[in-house]
Structure 1
Amino acid sequence: MLTRIVALALLAAPISASLPDLGYPGWKCDDSVYKKSKNVPTSAHSVRFSDIKVIGALGDSLTAANGAGAAKGDPLAVILQYRGLAFQCGGDSTLDEHVTVANVLKKFNPNIIGYSTGIGSANVWEVAKLNQAIPGAEAIDIITQARSLVHIIQAHKEIDVKNDWKLINIFIGANDMCAYCEQEENGPHSKELWKKNVITAVQILKDNLPRYRV
């Protein structure tokens, strides 16, 4: 797997090196949109942006943000996990400099918990926080990631598991598709097994984390 990643990085380096970071300087919306609900919503359909207090993520190298901050001429940096730049859960800088879901939500709730920062693996709390994505992961692997995420959230002293609304981003399937091209429906990466694994992971979240959105 690592050999494939490095090979792709070498091929993509001339293209990716020319892409600047993308921010949204000065973004704002109507003041009414920033308001929290008067009472903690009991339905996901009523949750406002400012009601979300926790953000987390499950996935593969795309969510671990492998190589996202690699410098020009350094394709081997693709093995580094730039979690703070991950679109799904990264919180490096601000929305002015870098567009991510977490940086958007920080506009509504500056105290949101769980976004990743810096460079490091999923087991380094100071970096990953609630971004439990693992490079090379397949759909079956997010079941373990979901259990890990639940454990971390339940153990976190600043998170009110019962009342805090949580946004969990799941982005998985790239590695399953690569394997599917070779095995199709006869192997462990069939469409039905992919679906089953994702549902199992979501069910773990549902059974253990009240007030969450995926």
Structure 2
Amino acid sequence: MHVKNLCISFTFFFLNEYNCQVGRSWLDDALEPIYWPLRRTLNEIVKSVIENRKATERNNLPKPELSENLEFPCKFSTPRSEKVPQSVHKLRPGDIDLIGVIGDSLTAGTSVSATNLLELPAEERGASFAGGGADTWRTRLTLPNILKEFNPQLSGYATGTSLYIEKAAGLNFAEPAAFSSDMFTFIQLLVQRIMNDPTVDFRKDWKMITIMMGHNDFCTANCNLKNPYDALIMHAKDLVKVLRFIRDNLPRTIVNIVPPYGKLYKYMFLLCWLSKLSH
């Protein structure tokens, strides 16, 4: 785990201010034994707070409009192909066996149901639009919950609030505050986890990988780069590198590229200061 992933304001301020390139060092090894336990503890505390609040809301709020007996509106007579498709162009929704994600806080489900500052750090991956499979489409309209209607055996989706290194995260390799340069590390970890899963037929099963990254790059571009548009060029190079890796190492894969939203602002001291504290 790299030091740059530690959410310490001073660290990020220093790295962004002086454009340091962080590699693995003795500090990584020294902090790693306490870093993940600390994050797990924080995540569990926030998770408990959210669950208690939701339990109270369920008792006080009216029942949801969608009935549990409501059928999924899109039905196919043959949601899954009789034979495994040889081409991505022949895929049906039910042909997807595995779903995975790489991204930042938006795909990690950070603060999805937060209603106050204390709940902001929670990584609710089970509710992530791209990789969350908690509950059903009636309560959480996510891509995995939609695909589960066509293939109940779908795997890889996240089931709860967790860090990406935990089992509940499934194949959701999204990390808050991640940059485009982190994508290659995440896709390597994702592919390795798929290869190590005995329940997956690595070469036969069809996989869907969603990539949504770049928000943090564009958010800090005007603060760190002489020409902010260089962030676009670097993002494109990082993305192409990831796509080539998928092409060469992950057979039978369909890739969803979700463009990051963002705007390149003129340099503003307060905006950049806040950005450096949070990234």
Distance across 2 between alignment mates of 1:123 and 1:175: 21
Structure 2 match to 1:150: 191
Report the alpha carbon displacement of residue 179 of structure 1 after superposing the two structures with TM: 1.4
Cα offset for 1:189?
Answer: 5.8
Which residues in structure 2 correspond to 1:51-66 (within 5 Å)? 51-66=95-110
Cα offsets for 1:61-115 (capped at 9, x unmatched): 0011111122x3x322111100000000001100011100000000001110100
Specify which of 236, 241, 254 is matched with residue 195 of structure 1.
236
Give SS of 1:104's match: helix
Alpha carbons of 1:150 and 1:56: their partners in 2 closer, same or farther (altered >3 Å)? same
> Contact between 1:22 and 1:99, CA under 8 Å: does it hold in 2?
no
**Cα distance in 2 for residues equivalent to 1:61 and 1:104:** 22
Mapped partners of 2:166, 2:229: distance in 1: 30
Paired residues of 1:168 and 1:212 also in contact (CA < 8 A): yes
- Structure 2 unaligned residues grouped into runs of 5+: 1-6, 13-63, 256-279
- What's the TM-score once normalised by structure 2's chain length? 0.65
Instruction: Find 2:135's aligned residue among 74, 83, 93.
Output: 93
Structure 1 segments of 4 or more deviating over 6 A?
1-4, 21-24
Which residue does the alignment assign to 2:211?
170
1:145 maps to a residue whose letter is F
Contact persistence 1:105–1:112 (CA under 8 A):
yes
Q: Which has the higher contact order (CA 8 A, sep 6+)?
A: 1
Aligned pair partner of 2:86 in 35, 42, 55 = 42
Instruction: Classify 1:165/1:95 alpha carbon distance in 2 versus 1 (closer, same or farther; 3 Å).
Output: same
Matched-pair contact (CA < 8 Å) for 2:205–2:252: yes
Note closer, same or farther for the CA distance 1:159–1:65 as it changes in structure 2 (3 Å cut).
same
Q: Which has the larger radius of gyration?
A: 2
> Match for residue 26 of structure 1?
71
Q: TM-score, structure 1 length as denominator? A: 0.83
Cα distance in 2, alignment partners of residues 205 and 95 from structure 1: 29
Any conservation in 2 of the 1:185–1:191 contact (CA below 8 Å)?
A: no
Q: State the secondary structure of the residue aligned to 2:120.
A: helix
Query: What does the per-residue CA deviation read over 1:107-166, in whole Å, with 9 as the maximum and x for residues that have no partner?
Result: 0011101000111100012x1110011111111101100000000000100111101000
The equivalent of 1:75 in structure 2 is: 117
CA contact (8 A) 1:91 1:100 kept: yes
Q: Deviations over 1:18-76 (max 9, x none)?
A: xxx997953222332x4311211111111100000000000000011111122x3x322
2:102·2:172 contact (CA, 8 Å) conserved in 1?
yes
Q: Determine if contact 1:55/1:114 at 8 Å carries over to the other structure.
A: yes
Matched position secondary structure for 2:102: strand
Please give the alpha-carbon distance, in whole angstroms, between the structure 1 residues aligned to 2:66 and 2:137: 6
Match of 1:13 in 2: none
Could you tell me how far apart the structure 2 residues matched to 1:209 and 1:140 are?
20
> How much is the aligned-residue C-alpha RMSD, in angstroms?
2.3
Contact 1:23 1:99 (8 Å CA) reproduced: no
